[in-house]
Chain A
């Protein structure tokens, strides 16, 4: 029966001598160090997209929408409180950092701390309140990656005073100042390092070119610096004793 069993099972499910896998995709899913967001898409999401007959374009669109929304929230908060920035150094630092959309992307908790997360939530609350009280938004001239809120009247400000007060209170805390400083340091350090490498357009001010370094800014920075150090060690002559 042994050989018969093999024959029967071969009939049922013939051998697949030419079947080939996709080792690269396995690697990408197992070790998403290749940091392009589409390549790093988890296989579970790809499977879901395939089951629903959706393709890479959908992932791109979703990523763009998420980035736009995050940028809108962040820039709105920054613009709206520009006057307060001069009087609040912590806010100036955070403002420089959080205008970068990547800060809105989870980065294993390394790119921004809990106070920055909290600020984003509070900003969202404020925006919702302002929209509920007559404010409108329009894309800005920087290519549509952010929005400008208009139509904020005195009545809107009065109605949303609690949300604004919560933001102001958070920004006066030491935890916020620490998180903001760390965020800027990590973001700028990573982008500046990558900019010096093989992504010519990446810079602290060019979010679009920096997208490939998602999702872990701190790790990117560390890897980039280590590589630079190695190269420096190789190319520079050792000092004479």
Chain B
């Protein structure tokens, strides 16, 4: 049974802030993030007949979003700075060290980190969305947190 349009719409309307937040984080830009969410749902509607129903619709949408965000980032890589969320000078000073530490993580670690903390996905859903095993998600998250802790502890105050 293909995914219904109503189901996709329900997820869009109820979880849009989370999709957007992850997309902004992945692309490093608010407009690009919005475009990524938009493109992801356009693709989802167009390809909803092809989903194997055994898969989770949620995870399927997250996977499309992650791919869309990657596409958006690549498309504008000449212009966008990595993980350069727009913010005031004060905010930038406050979060500068965090930003650098997160930006220095490998892409997969960042993606899984965002899906875990911005989208509140459980390990199973993250595994489906990213296309890795559940154990890989746990290991990757552990490594990302350890790296962040190390870098932020070392960072000058």
Contact = CB atoms under 8 A, between A and B. Distances in A.
Interface string B78-120: 0000000100000000110011001000000000011001100
B124 interface: no
B61 to A, nearest CB: 12
A5 B12 CA distance: 26
Interface of B: 9, 12-13, 16-17, 20-21, 24-25, 31, 35, 37-39, 41-43, 45-46, 85, 94-95, 98-99, 102, 113-114, 117-118, 145-146, 148-149, 152
Interface string A1-34: 1101110111111011111111101110111000
- Listed from nearest, the 9 A-B pairs whose CB atoms lie closest are A30-B45, A19-B17, A21-B16, A30-B42, A16-B17, A1-B145, A26-B41, A29-B42, A9-B117
A55 to B, nearest CB: 16
A80 interface: no
B148 A5 contact: yes
Contacts of B113: 5, 9
Given A18-B17, A21-B20, A12 B45 contact: no
A26 B37 CA distance: 9
B45 A27 contact: yes
Contact of B98 (A1, A12, A17, A22): A12
A47 interface: yes
Give the interface size class of chain A: 20 to 34
B102 to A, nearest CB: 6
A8 B146 CA distance: 13
A47 B35 CA distance: 8
Contacts of B21: 13, 15-16, 19
Chain A contact residues: over half helix, strand or loop, or mixed?
A: helix
B139 to A, nearest CB: 15
A29 B38 contact: yes
B12 A23 contact: yes
A6 B24 CA distance: 16
Given A12-B95, A30-B45, A30-B46, A23 B9 contact: yes
B117 A5 contact: yes
Contacts of B94: 11
A104 to B, nearest CB: 27
A43 B42 contact: yes
A2 B42 CA distance: 34
26 contacts: A2-B145, A5-B117, A8-B148, A9-B117, A9-B118, A11-B95, A12-B85, A12-B98, A12-B99, A12-B102, A13-B24, A13-B118, A20-B16, A21-B12, A21-B16, A21-B20, A23-B9, A23-B12, A25-B38, A26-B12, A26-B41, A26-B45, A30-B42, A30-B43, A30-B46, A43-B42
A1 B85 CA distance: 23
Given A30-B45, A47-B35, A17 B149 contact: no
A1 B94 CA distance: 19
B65 to A, nearest CB: 12
B25 A13 contact: yes
A83 B115 CA distance: 70
Contacts of A26: 12, 38, 41-42, 45
A1 B117 CA distance: 12
A16 B20 contact: yes
A16 B30 CA distance: 11
Contacts of B39: 43
B117 A6 contact: yes
A23 B38 CA distance: 9
Contacts of A43: 35, 38-39, 42
